[in-house]
Structure 1
Amino acid sequence: MIVARSIDELKNFNKDTCVTIGNFDGVHMGHQKLISRTCEKASENGLESVVVTFDPHPLRVLVNSKTPPFITLTEQKIELIAQHEPSCILALPFTKEMAALTPEEFISKYLVQGLSMKELVVGYDYALGKGRAGNYEVLSSLGRKMGYGVERLDPVIINDAVVSSTRIRDMVEEGNVWDVKPLLGRFYQVRGEVIHGMNRGGKLLGFPTANIKLEDELFPKPGVYAIRVEVKGKVLPGVANIGTNPTFGNDTISVEAHIMDFSSDIYGNTIRVHFIQRIRSEKKFSGLDELKARINKDIELAKAILAYPESKVRPGINLKEPQGNIK
């Protein structure tokens, strides 16, 4: 599989392709249906499967600070797409100049000339090009002119509503991390480097914690969560606190994870935290004894939650470099 950041990197790529294109924020079940159908259709027609996305998200270029927090940043998005094994992932740098292209100009330059596209698979509401003018009808008309076919997929419905990035974002921000799993096909996760904190967890409270410098933008509603942590190639149970630690009078948001039955030094390591279930809201306690007692109870509740088979997570992959060539 190839991971490319520009059409120029694929200049020696002379095979016909089946393409899907989108922002794929979250790589949720709707996105996964698109990617799977693209790979399936490519196989049926003797084509190579290509997933085209953008870096950064177009909204970040077009409206900048007014954008919501994104569910997945580019590296994680590529990792999640790669799990479906397309022949190629093309993460195009999105610019204002690209945004100004008409649908015909974009498709001609990037998809037909650049990727020799013969089939295009799109979502039920997808549109591309300046002013989002390239809807299904326009894409189909251009396909008849340029020699490619278009297939539009229906939305994925889960729990009587369309699966969408907006719906998932709202659920995560409300702390509904257990209920978001069917929409994502996995539990919501964040990643970050373990950094030195206030040294209160182990020394003061008896519960060592990993303080995480987050790379992601979206994190669940403040509170205490049952979690699973990917660290040093293992998936381990734990409890995380998101918030300001009001008992100690902090005023900045932090994420601290207590990994159960784990004592290794992991400062400087990047870990992933999978949020399984929210246990409670943050609370200001009267003192250390009350806080310790509550933490003990949180750990026992987390153990009970994590005992359910449905709480298991599959370790992620770490795709830093292109993985070979298109066969």
Structure 2
Amino acid sequence: MEIVNSVNEITKPFLNAVVTVGNFDGVHLGHQMLFKKVIERAQDIGGTSVVFTFDPHPVEVLKGIHVPVITPLPRKMELIASKGIEVAICQPFTLKFAQITAEEFVKDILMQKIGMKEIIAGYDYSFGKGREGNLELLKKWGDELGFKVHVVGPIKVNGVVVSSTKVRELIQEGKVEKVRKFLGRYYQVTGKVIRGRDRGGRLLGIPTANLALVNEVFPKLGVYAVEVIYQGKKYQGAANIGFSPTFGNNALSVETHILDFNQDIYGEEIKINFVKKLRDERKFSRVEELVTQIKKDIETARKILSQFSIA
């Protein structure tokens, strides 16, 4: 997949571009349906499948509100590429860009710069300065300017509309099994293994990989059965997200015990897939009680993961 870091980098329009536009945080089932339609239409007209997305999240720029992302940009690009899209344009979202009117966005960027012949839009799509553009206006311009508009309806899971907001909410509630149904895959966080407080191996006798936190949504505090991916190989694990209340800490940490693993991976990148929540975070009166509980968690995780079809 070709990645274009700004519309200013485009030197000539793409051949018969079929475009979809959005933030696409999470690349959930709804987004995936849009991409599928883009690819189908591009194949039908001998054109180029194009995804136009933004970074950072527009809400951060327009309202100054921090939005922890479901998929950091590298992961989002990886997922979009995996769906078969040919070109991803990742436009830096700035206050200047936010001032572009709906008409300018369609005529100057989508048509002139990108070469759009068709656009695939979600049922709730809006665009341009102040979100002044809507589907009705888009269809009107399509008729006038000669491009086709295809609208994709909402995707539902058990009667609930799939959305980035809903996915984020489920993650924060620790409902990682439900999240998988909305994403079509396990929720994953990625990061480098850092040196923690050296309690796992030294004090508790249970070594853990401590993850450096990035701008991602993290599941509710507690213990989870997880899958750990290191250098392309998958391992079972048990992860704790929390503040280590037994030791009176205030710093949030993600500590993962990787089952049947003894390599030194400090400074290395790992991926963690959240499979199932085991329990909430608890404070223990004695370290020995904590160790006993962690060992139980590890065995519970082992049993659960052996039953799941890890993917």
Q: How many residues align?
A: 311
Residues 25-80 of structure 1 show CA distances to partners (whole Å, capped at 9, x for unaligned) of 1100000000111011110111110000011111111012x243221121111111
Match of 1:19 in 2: 19
Unmatched runs of 5 consecutive residues or more in structure 1: 314-327
Inter-partner Cα distance in structure 1 for 2:275 and 2:91: 33
Code of the aligned partner of 1:109: D
Match of 1:102 in 2: 101
* Shift in Å, 1:14: 4.4
SS in 2 for 1:24: coil
Code of the aligned partner of 2:46: G
Code of the aligned partner of 1:215: V
* Shift in Å, 1:7: 2.2
* Shift in Å, 1:145: 2.0
SS in 1 for 2:18: strand
Match of 1:131 in 2: 130
- 2:51 maps to 1:51: yes
Q: Which runs of 4+ in 1 moved over 3 A?
A: none
Q: Contact 1:172–1:220 at 8 Å: present in 2 too?
A: yes
- 2:296 maps to 1:297: yes
* Shift in Å, 1:270: 1.3
Residues 132-184 of structure 1 show CA distances to partners (whole Å, capped at 9, x for unaligned) of 11111101111122221100001001111100111111111010001110101
Match of 2:251 in 1: 252
Code of the aligned partner of 2:287: L
SS in 2 for 1:291: helix
Match of 2:164 in 1: 165
Residues 75-108 of structure 1 show CA distances to partners (whole Å, capped at 9, x for unaligned) of 1111111111111000011111221111110111
Q: Contact 1:72–1:216 at 8 Å: present in 2 too?
A: no
* Shift in Å, 1:115: 1.0
Q: Classify 1:26/1:88 alpha carbon distance in 2 versus 1 (closer, same or farther; 3 Å).
A: same
Q: Contact 1:207–1:258 at 8 Å: present in 2 too?
A: yes
Matches within 5 A, 1:193-212: 193-212=192-211
* Shift in Å, 1:305: 1.1
Code of the aligned partner of 2:69: F
Match of 1:36 in 2: 36
Inter-partner Cα distance in structure 2 for 1:275 and 1:309: 12
SS in 2 for 1:307: helix
**Greater relative CO (CA pairs within 8 A, separation 6+):** 1
Residues 269-316 of structure 1 show CA distances to partners (whole Å, capped at 9, x for unaligned) of 111111111101111112222111111110111011101233x12xxx
SS in 2 for 1:252: coil
Q: Classify 1:241/1:265 alpha carbon distance in 2 versus 1 (closer, same or farther; 3 Å).
A: same
Inter-partner Cα distance in structure 1 for 2:271 and 2:54: 24
SS in 2 for 1:205: coil
- 2:91 maps to 1:111: no
Code of the aligned partner of 2:15: K
Unmatched runs of 5 consecutive residues or more in structure 2: none
- Farther off after superposition, 221-230 or 300-309: 300-309
Inter-partner Cα distance in structure 1 for 2:307 and 2:104: 52
Inter-partner Cα distance in structure 2 for 1:293 and 1:122: 53
Match of 1:6 in 2: 6
Q: Contact 1:190–1:214 at 8 Å: present in 2 too?
A: no
Q: Contact 2:23–2:54 at 8 Å: present in 1 too?
A: yes
Give the structure-1-normalised TM-score.
0.92
* Shift in Å, 1:242: 0.4
Residues 211-230 of structure 1 show CA distances to partners (whole Å, capped at 9, x for unaligned) of 11022321000000000111
Q: Contact 1:190–1:216 at 8 Å: present in 2 too?
A: no
Code of the aligned partner of 2:257: H
Q: Contact 1:191–1:216 at 8 Å: present in 2 too?
A: no
Match of 2:120 in 1: 121
Inter-partner Cα distance in structure 1 for 2:121 and 2:129: 17
Q: Contact 2:60–2:67 at 8 Å: present in 1 too?
A: no
Matches within 5 A, 1:66-81: 66-81=65-80
Inter-partner Cα distance in structure 1 for 2:70 and 2:86: 24
Give the structure-2-normalised TM-score.
0.97
- 2:225 maps to 1:226: yes
* Shift in Å, 1:239: 0.4
* Shift in Å, 1:13: 4.6
Match of 1:156 in 2: 155
